[in-house]
Amino acid sequence: MHPGSRHGLHRFALLPLAFARPAPEEALESAAHSHPDTRRAHKDILALGVVVAVIGGVTEAAFSGLFPIFGVGRKLGADQMVTLLTVFGLGGLLLQYLAGWLADHRGLGFAILVNAASTVLIAVIAALPLGFGGLAITLFALGGHDHRLSDTGHHRLHPSRRRRLSVNVRLISMAYTASSIFGPLSAGAVMNTFSSEALIWLIGLLAAVLCAYLLVKSWSGRA
């Protein structure tokens, strides 16, 4: 058969698709999303994702970019600072599975609240005059409380993610990218005004703000 004839048959084969109706699952899915409560739930999840992305972008970019200034204030050597940053990254790599397990079993909001509250506690401990070993353990734990957990949780909590996921992920990514640009600038200004220790204070303060946001949203949802 001539290649052109094959292409012509393919075109005719596409005609039935123009009249095909959506699969029942897709139709039910679309109907479910027309419900006001479902739309509001999706907006709440997206808002949570944006808030977490902004706070996560500020804290991660500020910590990674300004940690050498913090290290100089703690009288750490260059090798020690490299080691601590490596430990921080390992914490983010290894402890994310625990955070994911918590989100699967107790829900995204609870998991983020636990992460944020733990970050406040870790920041308080890190602000103490710790030795190198204590600081390494503290930064390992701090690295594990990665606020980008919102991406995974957002993906799991959306049954209709095929339509909404790409748009929502773009919004969350834009929020994270913008905050990661302005985060080091604002944190640097705070550190310049106070001291190098302000880096840890800022991380704890932002985590406390996230805790307050989650608690207020939870209380308003029950009211």
Quickly state the pLDDT bin for 221 (edges 50, 70, 90).
low
Three-state DSSP state, 58 = helix
> Would you tell me how many other CB atoms lie within 10 Å of the CB of residue 173?
14
> Measured between alpha carbons, how far is 171 from 189 in angstroms, rounded to an integer?
27
Q: Is the pLDDT of residue 37 over 70?
A: no
Q: How far apart are CA 152 and CA 150, in angstroms?
A: 6
pLDDT in tens, 139-167: 999 987 754 544 444 444 444 445 566 77
In this predicted structure, the answer to whether residue 13 has a pLDDT above a threshold of 80 is no
CA distance 162 to 52: 22
Q: Which residues contact 119 (CB under 8 A, 6 or more apart)?
A: 142, 145, 203, 204, 207
What was the pLDDT predicted at 26?
A: 44
Q: Name the amino acid, one letter, at 177.
A: T
User: Of 41-55, 83-97, 129-143, which gets the smallest average pLDDT?
Assistant: 41-55
Rg (CA), the chain: 23
Statement: residue 3 has pLDDT above 50: no
As given in the structure block, the two tokens for residue 115 are: 């992460």
Overall pTM > 0.85: no
- Show the domains of the chain with their CATH numbers: 46-222 (1.20.1250.20)
